[in-house]
Copies of this chain bind each other. A is one copy, B any other.
Amino acid sequence: MRINTVFEALSHPVRRQILALLKSGPMSAGELASHFDLTKPTLSVHFNKLRDAELVAVERRGTSLIYHLNMSVLEEALSGLLGNKDKSP
């Protein structure tokens, strides 16, 4: 896990909102894109950064790409900042 890549990914509001949307469950690229006033290519770039950070994983279903949240990377990165090396129960 590249901590640097994770925090860089978290630094943009659109990307944080993508994560927030994915908290309710997996979603296709197109459906995610429909929540923003940005073009699909622009969203694609954001998806890539989240994927590089392993904050999301992607799975193809037909012609669609389904994104889903990787909560554990998020938790590890944030607890790293707070200094909790151990994961609380």
Contacts and interface: CB of A to CB of B under 8 A. Distances in A.
A81 interface: yes
Interface of A: 4, 7-8, 10-11, 13, 16, 19, 23, 74-75, 78, 81-83
19 contacts: A4-B13, A7-B7, A7-B10, A7-B11, A7-B16, A8-B11, A10-B10, A10-B11, A10-B81, A11-B11, A16-B81, A19-B81, A23-B83, A74-B81, A74-B82, A75-B82, A78-B78, A78-B81, A78-B82
A48 to B, nearest CB: 17
Contacts of A82: 74-75, 78
Contacts of A75: 82
A11 B82 CA distance: 15
A8 B78 CA distance: 14
A75 B16 CA distance: 16
